[in-house]
Amino acid sequence: MLPKRRQSPKPATTRFGTIVIGGGFTGLAAARRVAELRPNEEVLVLEASTVGEGSSGRNSGFIIDLPHNTKMGGHTSPAEVARKQIRMYEAGLRWLEGLVREHGIDCGWNPVGKFHAAASEAGVKNLQAVLQQYRDWGIAYTEYDRAGLAARLGTDYYQYGYHSPNNVFVQPAALIRGLADTLPANVTLAEGESVIALGQAAPFEVTTSSGRYIADQVIVANNGFAKALGILRDRLITIYTYAAVTPRLPEAELAKLGDAREWGVIPANRLGTTLRRIQDGRFMVRSDYSYEREQSPDRTLALLTDCYRRRYPQMASHGFEYVWGGTTALTRNGATYFGSLRPGLFASLGCNGAGVLKGTMYGKLLGEMAAGATSSFLTDALSLEKPNWLPPEPFRRAGVMSAIKYQASVAGLER
């Protein structure tokens, strides 16, 4: 676990060329790129919490460079949409790895790929459909039966799966802190600055919990929290997800978790359980969703403990040292809003649970767009479909809750 971080001080000035709302992967990448392209411009990043303690530091630490949604794109074929995303993610991964290497960010960067595993017949069909896409895209993979997975994961819970090299493991809070601490000199990071109001036109007035700032342009990169500023209220849904991690396990217990020092499993159903054996000897379990607000800690702990116990009944203990929740912003069609909302106001919102690499690349491109740069990657990002309209409350809640309930029933053994 990381040491407690001291928040950065309040900015000494209130006038900036660009203000970025949100100090996660998207916001920091956007700020970095604007600052690089406009070295004489002062950039301000406003982060409501402390860097590393928000959603960016609470994900599972998978950096997957393959698309999650290839059915977007209007008149463009799914295959072409996938190819655009793959090109962007590969470039984003190279850029992110370059920053990690250049600045010596100690985040456990480990490009060992990831497993996808299915416990049910329906899950097997889902995975085989994904592999057909992999074949179309030219992506390498290795298939495993139950015995093969048991040797690698230490459990015979799964009947079928595959391994893909398209993933890097990191300690996400360490990565986001490292990116924050190595921003260019013309970027000011202000933590503990919740944005509560945003002006409608340039020069934009940005009001926070402790002050007011002025900027020629604003980049909004706070995902589902943008709704509180009146942005994309009819396009974004905020969902909480939950995870827990064990204490460092004794070697005898670690030996029960397969033959690799670090691995991770992506479930065959979207409401299934994600697993990760972490380099430092801990074991992580992630599962379950709730809409717009956190569920009770008791329910969360019971559910995650059950997921762990069913997969690893042979462990001496199924206790966790830390349990947490984090938010993600979903859209109805799985698309991210990317581009200009109006003159001088830019946004990348709705990561749909794939925020580390997508957020990094989309933030980089949004920073380039705000700075007036052009590229084929920016053209590709702007060509993708935008999020669909969502019905107002209470109809939205009813629809989301019904979808969660239905997906949970479909998930079955994958939960």
The DSSP element (H or E) to which 142 belongs, if any, is strand 142-145
Distance of alpha carbon 189 from alpha carbon 191, whole angstroms:
6
Tell whether 197 is covered by a domain. Answer: yes
What tokens appear for 285 in the block?
């379990």
Q: Which of 46, 24, 48 is nearest to 179 (CA)?
A: 24
At 127-177, the pLDDT tens digits run 999 999 999 999 999 999 999 999 999 999 999 999 999 999 999 999 999
Range(s) of the domain holding residue 249:
114-165+238-330+401-414
21 and 161 both lie in a single domain: no
197 & 261 share domain: no
Amino acid at 287: S
Judge if 288 and 299 occupy the same domain.
yes
Same domain, 54 and 195: yes
The CATH number covering residue 341 comes to 3.50.50.60
In a domain, 8, yes or no: no
Q: Do 242 and 296 sit in the same domain of this protein?
A: yes
Interval 303-353: pLDDT, tens? 999 999 999 999 999 999 999 999 999 999 999 999 999 999 999 999 888
Give me the number of domains the chain comprises.
2
Spatial contact of 192 and 54, defined as CB atoms under 8 Å apart: no
| Separation between Cα atoms, residue 84 and residue 67, nearest integer Å | 9
pTM: 0.95
pLDDT digits (tens, 9 = 90+) for 383-415: 999 999 999 999 999 999 998 888 888 889 999
10 within a domain of the structure (yes/no):
no
- Does the structure show a pLDDT above 50 at 75? no
Question: Does residue 60 register a pLDDT over 90?
Answer: yes
| Reported confidence tier of residue 10, pLDDT bands at 50, 70, 90 | confident
**CA nearest neighbour of 169 among 63, 273, 97:** 63
Residue 391 domain-assigned (yes or no):
no
Q: What are phi and psi of 123, to 5 degrees?
A: -65, -40
Strand-pair partners of 286: 243, 274
